[in-house]
Amino acid sequence: MSFALDGLGVPGTPHPHVVTAEALQSYADATDDVVAGPVFAIVPVWQSIAPASRSVASEEARARVVHYAHDIHVQRPIEAGMRLVSVATPVGLFGRPNGASLVIRTETRTAAGERVNEQYVTEFFRGVETASSVGHRAPAHRLETNGAEPLGEVGYRVADDQTARYAAASGDDFAIHLDDDFARSVGLAGRIVHGLCALALAGRAVLEAAELEDPTRVTRLAVRFSAPLFPGDTLTTKVWAAEKGFGFEAVDGDGSTVLNDGRLELR
């Protein structure tokens, strides 16, 4: 299990994507969200991320990867009919306790060159060490509540078939989300909910707690995935007012924090 530092900073092959109304609706149905919520931004870039990861991480290392953090910066909401082009670039590799993290930056533009969004995907390789910490970290989005009470809490139950629905709509069919036996073979308690599905649920909860109905106002949605969430569990999102928008974290039915350092900013 190893990493190739010469892959850092090298952009991947541009990936084209045509946004359809059917795909927008399918993703909304998979996340129990409104159509064209901000997390749909992952769909056009998804096929670009794995090659970027593989340009740095060996296949043996990737067998132990989990999604550690995600940060979406929205310049323009995605609409049906858009022709998009996305590029993913691994930009940083960092040693951490019990593993290593890889930061991948993606950029999505229209076919005419107008920027639509950029995203920072942080992967964590459990038990895989690196001797080097090099490159660029993802932008900070730490949540500081200073002991304040949340302005609201919203809970959603995760459906038993949520991971299957999400895999079909997003293209993320990694076995840790679909196969209990495989998930256990890599040290998990069973199949886990996709991190971005949990983020979509939490983002919707923030807007609900803030009594905001227009998801196109979101300019940034960021979070750290701090523990697995499982199908059948309940995700409760706690929301605080913050500069430019809101901060949030989310807990499961046992009270364990599964989403941390959440940030939702508005235009």
pLDDT of amino acid 104: 98
Which residue type occupies 2? S
Q: To 10 degrees, the CA torsion angle through 104, 196, 247, 78?
A: 80
Q: How far apart are the first and last CA of the chain?
A: 43
Q: For residue 232, what is the enclosing H or E element?
A: none
pLDDT of amino acid 146: 87
| Phi, psi of 24, deg, nearest 5 | -60, -45
- The domain made up of 5-266 has a fold known as Thiol Ester Dehydrase; Chain A (3.10.129)
Q: To 10 degrees, the CA torsion angle through 112, 113, 118, 123?
A: 90
C-beta separation of 100 from 94 below 8 A: yes
Q: In this model, does residue 20 exceed pLDDT 70?
A: yes
Q: pLDDT band for position 140 (50/70/90)?
A: very high
Q: In this model, does residue 45 exceed pLDDT 80?
A: yes
Number of Cβ within 10 Å of residue 26's Cβ equals 19
Please count the CA atoms within 13 angstroms of the CA of 141 that sit on its side-chain side.
Answer: 27
Q: pLDDT band for position 253 (50/70/90)?
A: very high
d(CA 97, CA 89): 24
pLDDT tens for residues 51-87?
999 999 999 999 888 899 999 999 999 999 999 999 9
Maximum CA pair distance of the chain? 48
pLDDT of amino acid 132: 86
DSSP three-state, residue 78:
coil
Q: In this model, does residue 169 exceed pLDDT 70?
A: yes
Q: pLDDT band for position 1 (50/70/90)?
A: low
Q: pLDDT band for position 131 (50/70/90)?
A: confident
pLDDT of amino acid 122: 98
pLDDT of amino acid 66: 86
How does the average pLDDT of the chain come out, rounded? 95
Quote the pTM value.
0.95
